[in-house]
Amino acid sequence: MARKLTFDYDQALDRATELFWRKGYAGTGIRDLLKEMEIGEGSFYHSLKSKRHLFLLCLARYDETVVAKRMRLMASAPDAGAGIRAFFTHMFDYLDDAKAPSKLCMIAATVEEEVLVDPELRQRAAKGLKDLEAQFASRLARDPQSPSARIEDGALAAILTTYVQGLWRMALVDYDRGRFEQQTEILLGSLGV
């Protein structure tokens, strides 16, 4: 007979997601997770198996909530340029939010040494970046005004993905929305988006 959960699974997962997002994979210990999730060690190992498994679940939760919203904004805009700008506006709105767990996107935060040395976590980090690149490429390909005559959609999507990752890292050091918006507009304009 299966054991009944003695805690609110969704609430515990949300709390763990926020903790990983705030402290990163390497900076989050099992004791931190147990305290934040308000569960016992037995419940943790019985239902969540390991820190790595929980981290993968939390990344999926982040994808389903935060990333999905950015992607919907990009996809629903009338054209690729407006969609990509909506993506960046959402990103900057997040960076302006004092209540956000971190100035770093949780997916971008997976690109750290302790994550990348684990083959399964490295694969998940690569998937997150490839998914973003694929979303950019898909949005560009759907637009009849796409700059693909100058730059292939896939190459342009790779450039945008790299730029996004750089913005997250720069925001950790010196975030200035006006400057970031200006740089982004210069980049998009020079790429014909």
Per-residue pLDDT of the chain (193 residues), as tens digits, is 455 556 788 899 999 999 999 999 989 999 999 999 888 888 888 888 899 999 999 999 999 999 999 999 999 999 999 999 999 999 999 999 999 888 888 888 888 888 889 999 999 999 999 999 999 999 988 876 665 555 677 889 999 999 999 999 999 999 999 999 999 999 999 888 8
Residue 147 lies inside a defined structural domain of this protein:
yes
Q: What residues make up the domain containing 76?
A: 59-191
Tokens 């997002």 sit on residue: 21
Cite the DSSP H helix spans in the chain.
9-23, 30-37, 41-48, 51-62, 68-76, 80-96, 106-109, 113-116, 119-141, 153-174, 177-191
Residue 106 lies inside a defined structural domain of this protein:
yes
pTM: 0.86
Amino acid at 10: D
Which CATH number fits the domain that encloses residue 114?
1.10.357
Residue 30 lies inside a defined structural domain of this protein:
no
DSSP conformational letter for 95: H
Residue 53 lies inside a defined structural domain of this protein:
no
DSSP run (H or E) holding 177: helix 177-191
Residue 12 lies inside a defined structural domain of this protein:
no
